[in-house]
Amino acid sequence: EIVLTQSPGTLSLSPGERATLSCRASQSVFSTSLAWYQQKPGQAPSLLIYGASNRATGIPDRFSGSGSGTDFTLTISRLEPKDFAVYYCQQYGNSLWTFGQGTKVEIK
Amino acid sequence: QVQLQESGPGLVKPSETLSLTCAVSGYSISSGSYWGWIRQPPGRGLEWIGNIYHSGSTYHNPSLKSRVTISVDTSKNQFSLKLSSVTAADTAVYYCARRALGYAFDIWGQGTMVTVSS
């Protein structure tokens, strides 16, 4: 099983700042299988990025994904108040989908 | 637009079988795509349970061993999850979702909370 480790666990930032979230895989992952989700309290996760760097429909361009192999990054260029939430990375490999443990982006 | 809605009992007794259904609207399951179940224990992260294709082929998380059964009913445009021999560790919000963009889940249901307790 491929384990995804997200860091940091919590990111405390102010609106307007840049957020950089990391997702590290225990072994190499196909970029096509790496996705990022946003989850707000009491809501289902919503897809932000698929294929490591492709924005899902309706996702603003302040969200960007990058990386390859074992290291992937989600960047939010300028945080807006509605961006404070928990973010999860997810991958598919060996007939198994796994998620990272999440990074909480909170208001500083 | 495509919408998914989970339904089923909110309370299940230990050792019994959890049964949930996901009704799909705005899209025909027979058209393709994979359909999945993901759960989230209170205050914790996401765990993939399994996927099914409209043809009925399935994948499931080996950590759940043989307790998982996922089926599809194209005539009703819905798919279902059964999880047998439940324990308190199976208490979670259960989500159904569509896997359509590569290996990502692009549409999610709102989720349904299932508590395992006597």
- As a whole number of angstroms, the distance between CA A28 and CA A25 comes to 7
Pairs of residues, one from chain A and one from chain B, whose beta carbons lie less than 8 Å apart: 64
Query: What single string gives the DSSP state of each residue in chain A?
Result: ---EEEE-SEEEE-TTS-EEEEEEEEEEE-GGG-EEEEE-TTS--EEEEETTTEEPTT--TTEEEEEEEEEEEEEESS--GGG-SEEEEEEEETTEEEE---EEEEE-
Contact B48 A32 (CB under 8 A): no
- As a whole number of angstroms, the distance between CA B94 and CA B79 comes to 13
Mean pLDDT within B24-30: 94
- Nearest Cα of chain B lies from the Cα of A47 at a distance, in angstroms, of 6
- The answer for A 54-73 residues in CB contact with B (under 8 A) is 54, 56-57
Contacts of B29 (CB under 8 A, 6+ apart): B35, B54, B72, B74, B77, B78, B79
Q: At A81, list the tokens.
A: 């108040």
Mean pLDDT within B97-116: 94
- Better-predicted residue by pLDDT, B44 or B33: B44
What does the pLDDT read at residue B55? 86
Q: Which residues of A touch B95 (CB under 8 A)?
A: 44-45
Asked if residue B96 has pLDDT above 80, the reply is: yes
Return the percentage of chain B with pLDDT > 90, whole number.
86
Residue closest to A68 by CA, chosen among A23, A9, A7, A98: A23
Contact A92 B106 (CB under 8 A): no
Residue closest to A28 by CA, chosen among A66, A2, A1, A5: A2
Mean pLDDT within A61-84: 97
CA end-to-end span of chain B: 39
Check if A90 contacts B (Cβ < 8 Å). yes
The CA-atom distances, in angstroms, between A14 and each of A11, A83, A104 are 10, 11, 13
- Are residues A4 and A90 in contact, defined by beta-carbon separation less than 8 angstroms? yes
- As a whole number of angstroms, the distance between CA A87 and CA A21 comes to 8
Instruction: Give the amino acid at A100.
Output: G
Nearest CB among B45, B62, B103 relative to A35 is that of B103
At B67 the three-state DSSP class reads helix
Nearest CB among A43, A50, A99 relative to B102 is that of A50
Q: Which residues of A touch B110 (CB under 8 A)?
A: 43-44
- pLDDT tens-digit profile of B43-91? 999 999 999 998 889 999 999 978 999 999 999 999 999 999 999 999 9
- As a whole number of angstroms, the distance between CA B54 and CA B33 comes to 7
Q: Which residues of A touch B106 (CB under 8 A)?
A: 47, 50, 56-57
Check if A47 contacts B (Cβ < 8 Å). yes
What does the pLDDT read at residue B85? 96
